[in-house]
Each structure stands twice: as C-alpha cells, then as structure tokens.
Structure 1
C-alpha cells in the first residue's frame, strides 16, 4: 500500500491490525469485537474485509462484516469504515470475493452475498446448520463444506453464485446420510482437482490424471521469491527508521560464537542500501562483541540482548546461552526470579524461602488464562532422549489443589490435585492417547516426579513416569507408561502448572525444587 508492504491480521484482542511486513511497525488497528478474531482478513480493491461472530464493541449485538480502507492509519473507529453490516455471525469461515460480490458463510450454515462497494445484502442461501470451513472460489463456482445439515453431518456443495441467487450445482454426503462425515476444513483447488478433507478422510475430486496433465501443461504453480501482487524489491536512500538484527532470537552454548548482521529500513519499510557504520553493544550478556561477532563467555548460562545502533536508531537480538546436559536447579544461589533464559516463566514464577531453603514458586495471583496455566521451557527444542526429575508440592487453599508436572520431549507427566490422579500426556488437547492412573497425593507435602522419554525404533517413542513421596526410596517400577507409535522425537525440557483457583487475593500455589535434567542412561 503506497509503496509499503503490509500484513493484515485479526488478533486475540478483538482488533484487526495492519503491520509493516519488513519491520513489524503498526500502521493501524480497529477494535471491532470483545473477543478474538478467528477469520482471515480479505483485501478487495482498496478495502480490507473484517468479520467476526462475537459481541461487538459498543453494542451487545453479535457478529458483523465490514469494509475498512486498507490505506488507513492510526487507531480507527466505526466512522472510518466504508460500510458495516451487524448481526451477521461470520466467526469461523473466512469470506471470499470475485471482485464484485462478497461471499460469506455464517456459523449457522447460511451463505450470504454482499455488494463489495456498499455492503448491501444481495441474497442468502441456507446450506446447513453448523459451518466452520471457508468457501473456495474457483472457475466461477464456490466449493463449500458444512459440519452439520440438521439431521446428520456435513455435506459438500458446489454452488454457482449469481447476482440475485445461489445456484446449487451439486451437493453430496461424504459417507452416508446415516453416518455422514463432518467437514470443518476448507477445500483446496490444485492441478485440476478439488481436495476435500472431512473428519474421516481426504477426497480428490476431478478426472483421473488431471493432476499429471496440469503439471505437464505447466499448470502447476511455480515457486517465486516475490509474493503475488508484490512490487519488485527496491532500495532506499532515505534515513534509517528501523533496524532488524538477524538472527533475531537464538540459543547457543557457552563459549560459542555467533555472527550477526543488520538490515536497515526507511519509514515505509523499504530497505536502506547504505545505512552507515554500526555500533554493537551487549545488555545482560557476558562475552565479547566485535564487528557483529558475539562470543559467549565460557561456563555461563545467561540471556540478554545484542544491540546494534546506526545514527541513533536501535535494533536488538535476543540470545539465550544454555549449556549442554546435565542440569541441576536447587535455587539456593538464585535471586528472586527464575533463570532469565527460561521461556515463559517471567512474572509467573518466583524464587522464595521455604523450609530453610529456596524453592521455585508458581504464583497464583493472576486468574488470566495465560498466567494461571503455564509451561515454562528450560532449553532448546532440539533435545531428545533425556530424563527430567523434580521435587513438587501443591498448596491447598479454599479446598482447591493445583496441578503440577514436568515436561520432556513434548510429553507431560502431571499430578492433578482436585482429581487425585496422574496423567501422561503426549498432547494435552488430544485426550485419546493420554494415559491415566489414580494417584492419591496430599497437599502441602513434597513428592518426587520423574519422566523419562526415549526414542525407540522408527518413530516409536516410549514415555514413562513415576511419582513417590520425597524421602522414601525410589520405586523400581514405573507408575505410568506409554509407547507412542508416532512419537515426538524432539522437545525442550520444561515444567507444568495450573493454579486452579488463581485470584488477585491469592490461590493454591505450587512449588518445585531440585530440578534435574540429564541424558538417559
């Protein structure tokens, strides 16, 4: 837009954002919802189409679809919109357009057509009762799947849109009407075929050999270094307005060296060809920096910034310096915060005196979802075949106990306080592979948790854990175990906590001590 490449995206803050691609600098934002936006932004002519199905700002009416000029700037309000239609709940399926009309599928399976210039509704067509998949427009037709059509699961539709109506050319159950397959994924059109994925299978629709014929005729898309519609790369002779230091974020080992470079941009995000001399400095890091080469101090685990400056304009890279295994954390020589190189721990954990020594505390004073349940990661994601141990303890407050656990290679071993059980989770949201055993454990009492993850033959991964009261001998048998046939082969060590009753007045805290991570024996 006006010589500047922009990214348009909805956020969890309920706003649509325009961001300069090269620098990340915000250009404009428009808060339209009390909750996050799930649908993709769509550029049609000079406008960005915004849609959602949540409560609108300033009114309790649910849902809207609107057009906002793409070349706007600053903090926008409704008066800056080209047009707004409220009450249309398009919260999952992203709209598409043919340049004249806008097609949007609402959460209830109703397909709408709007005039892209005015927002006037032209027609609507009911094709289901629940819909999440985005339609695809190709060859003058809309390809759409639904999750539910009322009495059964979803259908797949081919629809020819007209100025005044929707012409349904074809509609098919995937599976059978008695056991139809739900469709929540958008179809894909490629090489002469339509690909449709349901909750049970993936289908390729089209003549046999169509993909091969398309490839031979040059119909297959060819990779390009320049995105479609983007102007050729240019260079600026203007003043430097932003610096990008690369690599921007990286983990290295103590004593290792790292070469960094800068890219300079003008106020529109256009690269500056000759930015001038670069001044380098360190913040929070021990080591040396000279002409863009950083060498970390040997034997020191740390985190901090490598800064670059050109003419008073600054940029920085975040560096974590983490030694190889084994690690031990007893927190006796720590300050009041966890190690700076841990990820996702700052502000959520603290180091505190307890029982004559120092321990790590999961704070329970913030009920916000991202603070009450956390997974701090202790190192790089490339680690594999290791064991993590930790002493753990949970407070009971207002008859509530928190959940506490350890993480290895993306597997979680978790003690659930209120449910009095132990779980081994390959991935928490996907419960079918989770292993559960009953485990009665007491509040305000120390236990030892041990999780070992080992890659076996092929993609098989064995995860096994044990728990026992601290001070007692380690049991020979594992408490819980799973062999995962499609396992996670790499992953950072970490810890897990969920403060069930977190509140500003305080909730059930959890405690960790004597964390050890080491290669499997």
Structure 2
C-alpha cells in the first residue's frame, strides 16, 4: 500500500523504544486495566486510507501485543485445508512488514476452526520474549525473532482440559515468572479435574509453583490473571472456574483470600484500582435469580478469608468483555453491546451507551476515547463525556464473497501513539500525526522486606519434574516471608521421599488406594536419583526446615519399549506415571486377568470421555498396540481407541466405523468441512468382544504415514492395513495413549453407580520403536 506524505514521514521519525512505557505487553495494556495514557489518537479512520498507517491481510480473534517495535498476533493458517495449523505472526510496528511466522499443528482438541488462536499472547518487558498458548495445549516461549526457546504440551504432560468452545487461558508475565491457568487432571493430588495456576521460570520453562485456590470447576473459562499490589503485598488477582475471584501471592501461589459470587466460571478478567478489585459475570448469582452482575471488593479488608464487598450491581450481564477502570470510573460492556460507565467508588451509573448488539471484545480507553469492536463486523470510537457518551466514528467492514461477516472478538492495542485493531481477516495500524506515547502508572511499592523476617513458606524448585528410570534431578529450596517476598535460598534440615497425598476420590466413586512413596534415593543436598528398575512411577520430594515443609511433584515416565499388562497394579489403582487416569480409569479383574477399565459412572463429558497419556510428548517414530473391548448399555456402544504421536485410531460405536484422525473438531470426509487429517472406513464391531488395535506412525520425505489395523483378538493379523493416511504436515512427536468415551450413562450419580453406561476395557498395551527404514 502506498502511504500518504505525513504518514510516511511519521514512520521515518518514529524511533523504536526498548521495552518501555510505549509497549502493550499484556492484552489489557501496561496497567492491565484496559487504559492507555497515549495521546493524539485518531477520532476517525478508514480501512481505505484515512489515518491508516498500514494494513496486513491476517486476522485473528484475540488481541495483539506490541513489544520493542514489533506487533504479534496468533491465528490459524490455511483454514479448511489439510494443512491447517495454528500460527504466531510478527510484524514491524512502524511499517507493517511481516517479519516472521511460526506454524504448529492442531491436535487432541474439540476446539473448532473459527476459535483457533483464542488465547491472547503475552510479552516479557525484559527480554522481549513472546508467550503463546495454543488451542491444542502447546505453551511456547519464542524469542523476538521467532525462535522457540522452550515449550510444554499442557494436554499431554498435565492433562489440560478444553471443550469445543475454545475457552483457554492467556499467559501473563510478572518479574521472572510466566503464569498460565487451565483446567486439568494429571496424577496424584491433581488427579481430579481442577482449575489450576502454573508458574514457570520465564526464561527456562522450569516449573516454580502450582496453585489451586478455588473449588470444583463449573465450566471452562478464559479470565486472565492481573498483577496488583494491595496492602503492600504483590498479588495475582484471578477469576476462577468455580465462579469466584481469588488473590494469590504472586511469587509463591499461596492463596490470600477468595470469594464466590457466580454459579458459572468467570470469563471477563478482573481489574484493580488501588485496593479495589472489580469483577463481572453474566450467569446466575448465588442469592438472586437476576442474571449477571458487576462487583467491587476491597482487597485490603479481609474477614474469614473473603474480601469486603463494597458494592454490586446485579442485572448487568457482562460475561465476556473485561472492564476498564480509570480516574474513578468503571467501564463495563455487557453481552448485548451496551457500555455502562459506573462510579468506581459507588457503582452508580454515570452514563450508558448502546454501541452494538453482541460484545466479546473488551473496550480500551485512551485519550478520552473508547475503542471497541463488536462481533457483527463493526469497530467503534466513542467519546467518554463527563455525563454522556457519544459515537465519534464507526467502521463497518464489508461482508465476504459469500455474504459472511467477519467477527471482531479481540480488543485493540495502543502503543507509541497508534492503535492496532485485529478483525477476523485483517490487522490495521491507525494513527494521527499528533500521536504520542504516554507514561503508564506503575504499581504501588511493596512493603520493604526485612532480612531478619521469619521464614513463612518453603518453595522447592523445580516444583514439578518428569524423569525417566534411573534419572537424576537436583532441587533447590527457597524461603519466603509472610508477604510472599523472596528471602534467600536455604539448606534443608532433611530431604525425604514421603508417601504422597492420597488421590482425590472421584465424584460418585470410591477412594483409590494410597500410592507408595517414590522409589529412589535423595541426598542431603537435594539430589534425587529414582530407581532404575521401575519404568514408571510418581510421587513427591519433601524438604523440611523447622516446622515448615516444601514439596515438589516427580513423575517418572516410561521410555520405549513400553509393555503393560496391568497384572502388577492393585485393583482399584491406576498405572503410575500415566496422565489423566485418576477418576476416569481403574484397574479391575476381568475374565481372570487384570485390565484397565474406562469408567462409565458420570455423565459429565469431561469424565465420560478421556485420553490416558502414557509417556512423554517427545516420543516419536513408534507403533502402539493394545487389546480393547467395549460393552453395550441401553443400546449404546462406546468409542474406544489408541493414540500415537497425536493421531487417534478409534472405533466409533454409534456409527460402526473406524476413524483415523488428529483433530477431532474436524469431521471425517464428507461430513461438513473436511479440513485437517481425517479418514474413515465402515467397520461393524460387536460388544463384549476383544479387538486388537495397531497404529504405526512413520516418517518419510517430510510426511507422516499413519497406518492402522483392528482385528478380533486371537485371530490371524490381516496382512493389509485396515486404514491409512498420509499427513503432509506431520505430528513429529507425541505421547502414546488410550482413548475412551462412555455413552449411555444415567444423568444422576446414584443411578450411574448402580447401572453404569457402556464401558471400555484395555489390556496388553505395547509401544515399540519402529525399525530403521
């Protein structure tokens, strides 16, 4: 695009600052409250040229971040094609030049294509590194030039849970930590599904702490934590899946206070102004049938573990867009596109303005203007008046060739006197010749730490680690005071391998057996060596100083080859070192042998359907085999299968077919959008019959060849593969696993316990490396 005179001059004169006040590192801005102190921002613009600095034909559904003269977005690439992937992109903030992109595969998720790229990115002010959370569960740290510094597969390593709706958490950077939140179920005391917060060293990915402040999750959610200093204490203020808001000590994850006020999980992120914490939701309240509400709590006044409620406004259904707080005003977009300006101290209405019909994007306040998009392809610039609001400008984006609208779900970003807007199809940078970067407010100072302060908390680092048999890990012990401030590294009086906490009892189930301590040795300096003769196990390391104890979680994952016939595992237990088996699977006696059973005693889809992950996500080029049997209940058959490198081979019970796929949100060919890798063949199969599954994934010429066989156990293996498919954008690694979806489960726990649904049984699991080609 040819640029007009003053804009070209503006680009030449703009100097790219180091990580500074000009950057928009958090999706809610430098103050994490939706406010920017930039001035001289445009009151109108046009996609055809007015106040348009640059445009690029790449859209998304989340907010951009701006760091060190670069703009970053996350979206999907090649939608609807076999090569569809998730993608992080980087542009020059001055010119719009695309500097790099990084694509990564979509797998093991129900999230659909138009919700890929849901989570917002985060940037680190110190290094300029970028953090992304993909819908498949990859948590990736990039350097500013797009090099992957570290990554984790949250789904395969920690049993991350998602639904089809796409609600996944966005990362946030604070000091030397990057913090992620998710619903997950992994092993041990995290075996039951919970909403948990995971803090990693931002440079290395080493896990520093876990926290689970709330109760049983009611829903998936996407509220993002914000950092605040209240009462001189550095806190994370978090919205949770149990319908509450909690405060955690930012450096340790310890819960300070919490309160629940909604019957569903929170999606709108909280905001903080001084000691006041604001939250909103659009679901049912706990004490009234009125839907939705806005709430103000005083985080400095805590009684019985809960902050003081200053005021609330029920009836405002504000469940998606996050509010803005600035200069004594709270700006709240409700679900129907009405903007409420409230007195932040009292909650009284100052003005209301109906700008749209459906609001998902959060408003941004800057230079006396409010920049906000609506789902229906419109972007608004509003004037924040003393007693009223008026529309300054609106851009309505044209429909596509097929008449479809391009949604606006992400919030704007403001940096260096410019505004960055992402629609479903494009990213725009707009600005005026008067645009100037402002200076955001900084957090209040913490109470000064005393070197003589007593130690109140011990933190074992790393807090969660995965080893293989015979592996070693050195742990450090860090001491914190009562306010969560780091004091020093300390020497433990004693390192032990205690019996781990009992796994939680699943809803409607019986208490599982108490797991044994880790088998291995730990030295007086905190060096752990796990047993070389135990291929898979899990437990804890403990360090003691005085009456304080710090703990770390240790998983020993099996390496290839893997052979598991379940005979040595106690009935009622689950395999050690496996992920996402607690409360969903159990060891039983069946036909004179022990095997693993997929439970069918809870109709909640998050429990009725499950993947059990056996090894690390870095395993590659192998074949998995197993015996599987499904039962029939109420004319329902289950779905059952095996997983290899993020590809699943599944017998579909209801449609009597065999599926080979990697991203279940994409239907099989001939059903709706073919999209990513999916293959199917008709395969009549019977209940109460054992079938042998075999799935091989190999690689050649940059492609993956996925080959599957299923036959009745005891019969001769067929020479030909039952189903096979070639993947041009291969999954090059991934954990082996088992899959089951139990149907026909009664809706109540009591009925399901008496008469469960269609179950799946697994036996003789074998995972072997492929022979060299």
Which structure 2 residues correspond to residues 315-330 of structure 1 after superposition, within 5 A? Answer: 315-330=550-565
> What secondary structure does 2:606 align onto?
helix
Counterpart-to-counterpart distance in 2, 1:191 and 1:489? 41
Instruction: Tell me the equivalent position of 1:117.
Output: 345
Aligned-pair distance for 1:169?
2.1
CA distance, structure 1, for counterparts of residue 475 and residue 763 of structure 2: 37
Cα distance in structure 2, aligned partners of 1:471 and 1:62: 59
Determine the structure 2 residue equivalent to 1:352.
588
- Map of 1:179-194 to 2, 5 A cutoff? 179-194=404-419
1:20 aligned residue: 249
- Displacement of 1:232: 9.4
After TM superposition, give the deviation of residue 37 of structure 1 in Å: 0.8
Question: Is the alpha carbon distance of 1:496 and 1:99 closer, same or farther for their aligned partners in structure 2, counting shifts above 3 Å?
Answer: farther
Structure 2 counterpart SS, 1:262: strand
1:363 to 573, 589, 599: 599
**1:51–1:63: 8 Å Cα contact kept in structure 2?**
yes
Which one of 689, 692, 697 corresponds to residue 453 of structure 1? Answer: 697
Question: What pairs up with 1:391-402 in 2 under 5 angstroms?
Answer: 391-402=627-638
Q: Is the 8 A contact 1:192 1:206 kept in 2?
A: no
Instruction: Confirm or deny: 8 A CA contact 1:451 1:466 kept in the other structure.
Output: yes
DSSP-derived class of the 2:486 partner: coil
1:197 is the counterpart of 2:426: no
1:424, distance to aligned residue in structure 2 (A): 2.9
User: Is the CA contact (8 Å cut-off) linking 1:462 and 1:482 kept in structure 2?
Assistant: yes
Q: Offset at 1:229?
A: 5.3
C-alpha displacement of 1:76: 6.6
1:150-184 alpha-carbon deviations (Å, 9 max, x no partner): xxxx2111222222222222211233385431112
- What displacement does 1:132 show? 1.1
Q: Does 1:332 align with 2:582?
A: no
- Equivalent position to 2:721, from 470, 473, 478: 478
Alignment of 1:252-331 (within 5 A): 252-273=467-488, 275=490, 277-283=492-498, 284-290=517-523, 291-301=525-535, 302-331=537-566
In the alignment, which residue of structure 1 is the partner of 2:652? Answer: 416
Is the 2:281–2:293 contact (alpha carbons within 8 Å) kept by the matching residues of 1? Answer: yes
TM-superposed deviation, 1:486: 4.1
Residues 1:470 and 1:464: Cα distance change in structure 2 (over 3 Å): same
1:493-508 aligned within 5 A: 493-502=736-745, 503-505=752-754, 506-508=756-758
Question: Is 2:302 the partner of 1:68?
Answer: no
- Using the TM superposition, give the Cα deviation of residue 90 of structure 1 relative to its aligned residue in structure 2, in angstroms: 0.7
1:353: Cα distance to partner?
A: 1.6
* Change over 3 Å in CA distance of 1:382–1:278 after alignment to 2: farther
**3-state SS of paired residue (2:716):** coil
CA distance in 1, matches of 2:717, 2:423: 47
Distance change in 2, residues 1:321/1:276 (3 Å): closer
CA distance in 1: counterparts of 2:428 and 2:355, whole angstroms: 22
Q: Which residue of 2 aligns with 1:151?
A: none
> 1:217-259, CA deviations, whole angstroms, 9 ceiling, x for partnerless residues?
9x6999xxxx965649956422222211111111112122111
Cross-structure match for 2:326: 98
CA distance in 1, matches of 2:341, 2:430: 27
User: How many angstroms does 1:192 deviate by?
Assistant: 4.2
Q: Tell me if the contact between 1:421 and 1:436 (Cα under 8 Å) persists in the aligned partners.
A: no
Query: Alignment length, in residue pairs?
Result: 503
2:621 is the counterpart of 1:385:
yes
- 493 and 139 in structure 1: CA distance in 2 versus 1, 3 angstrom threshold: farther
Conserved in 1, the CA contact under 8 Å of 2:240 and 2:266? yes
Unpaired segments ≥5 residues, structure 1: 149-153
1:58: which partner in 2?
287
**Which residue of structure 2 aligns with residue 519 of structure 1?**
769
- Matched position secondary structure for 1:504: helix
CA distance in 2, matches of 1:434, 1:495: 19
CA apart distance, 1:63? 0.4
TM superposition score normalised by structure 2:
0.61
Per-residue CA deviations over 1:357-377 (Å, capped at 9, x if unaligned) read 211111112333432222221
Which has the higher mean CA deviation after the structures are superposed, 4-13 or 428-437?
A: 428-437
2:359 alignment counterpart: 131
**Partner Cα distance (2:636, 2:325) in 1:** 52
> 2-side partners of 1:8 and 1:397: how far apart?
46
Contact 1:236/1:266 (8 A) holds in 2: no
CA distance in 2, matches of 1:308, 1:389: 41
Gaps of 5+ in 2: 1-229, 499-516, 668-674, 746-751
Q: Please state how far the C-alpha of 1:124 moved relative to its aligned partner.
A: 1.9
Question: Is this contact kept in 2: 1:173–1:180, CA < 8 A?
Answer: no
Conserved 8 A contact 1:303-1:340 = yes
SS at match of 1:196: strand
Separation in 1, partners of 2:731, 2:258? 38
Distance in 2 between residues matched to 1:367 and 1:242, nearest whole Å: 40
CA contact (8 A) 2:627 2:692 kept: yes
Aligned pair partner of 1:245 in 460, 472, 481? 460
TM-score by length of 1: 0.89
8 Å contact kept, 1:299–1:323? no
Q: Which residue of 2 aligns with 1:441?
A: 685
Distance 1:494 1:72, change over 3 A: farther
Within a 5 Å distance, the mapping from 1:128-207 to structure 2 comes to 128-148=356-376, 154-176=377-399, 178-199=403-424, 201-206=425-430
Shift of 1:420: 2.3
Alpha-carbon deviation of 1:188?
Answer: 2.4
Shift of 1:62: 0.7
325-334 or 377-386: which moved more? 377-386
2: CA distance, partners of 1:496 / 1:281: 36
Q: Deviations over 1:70-102 (max 9, x none)?
A: 22435577x931110011111111111223221
How far off its partner does 1:205 sit? 2.2
Q: CA deviation at 1:329?
A: 0.9
Greater Cα shift, 187-196 or 35-44: 187-196
Higher relative contact order (CA 8 A, sep 6+): 2
Aligned-partner Cα distance in 2 for 1:74–1:490: 50
Say if 2:476 and 2:489, in contact at 8 Å, map to a contact too: no
